[in-house]
Amino acid sequence: MMNIAEPSQANLESLFEMLSSGGPLMIPIGLCSVIALAYATERWVRLRPRYLGTATFGRKVVAELQERGAESALDLCEAERSPLARILGTGLKRSKMPFLDREKAVEDRAASEFKKQLANLRPLFLVWLIAPLLGMLGTVWGMIEAFSNIASENGLGNAEMLASGIYKALTTTAAGLSVSIPAMVAYWYLKGRVESFSRRFEEVYREVDESLTLSS
């Protein structure tokens, strides 16, 4: 009776052999993949609208400001404890201050919040840059070793030996690109979430600022 697990086991063994053939540089490439996965997961969770602040919450603050005043809207922001709430709260706390002073305080707080949200995207950016370079380094080193072995063993003209060396050398390039491409996609996707949050904040704060100006 045919063992169903045999093809799967053979595939796993061939995959392991292929990765092992990449040499020592497969270790830092593997570490890059772990780092990229960890930071992409953490940022995917923390950059959801639920944590950053939703447009629904922004409209709620504006409605509260227009109906009950700045203090009531500020209480709403302090209870929410999201980046959007902290930025809006900065402006509401300074509702009696001159426009330019209030605007400067809000801009500083917004810049701080955006910087904080972008901070943990840097490792993804570094993996995107470093992983393919490690792969290329492994390939160049593998090619040097392959041609060195052929020359030392008088294997010139031996296509089989050359093909085997090139196969092993190219493994690191494939591995580096396999790590770099998902890291690049994750970086730009998550950065897009921060930019979307920035646009959402600007729309909401414009309404808050107009309401504060009219009430002053």
For 58-106, write each residue's pLDDT tens digit: 888 888 888 888 888 888 888 888 899 999 888 888 888 888 888 899 8
Domain-located, residue 126: yes
pTM for the model = 0.77
At 122-170, the pLDDT tens digits run 999 999 999 999 999 888 888 887 777 777 666 555 666 666 667 777 8
- What pLDDT is recorded for position 29? 92
Q: How confident is the model at residue 18 (pLDDT cuts 50, 70, 90)?
A: low
Domain-located, residue 17: no
- What pLDDT is recorded for position 24? 80
Domain-located, residue 7: no
Residue type, 191: K
Domain-located, residue 14: no
List the domain range (segments joined by +) for residue 70: 25-42+52-215
Domain-located, residue 178: yes
Question: Mean pLDDT over all residues of the chain?
Answer: 82
- What pLDDT is recorded for position 161? 63
Whether 10 shows a pLDDT value over 70: the answer reads: no
Whether 117 shows a pLDDT value over 90: the answer reads: no
Domain-located, residue 89: yes
Q: How many domains does the chain have?
A: 1
Domain-located, residue 124: yes
Lowest mean pLDDT among 89-93, 182-186, 212-216: 212-216
Domain-located, residue 1: no
Whether 187 shows a pLDDT value over 70: the answer reads: yes
Average pLDDT over residues 103-110: 90
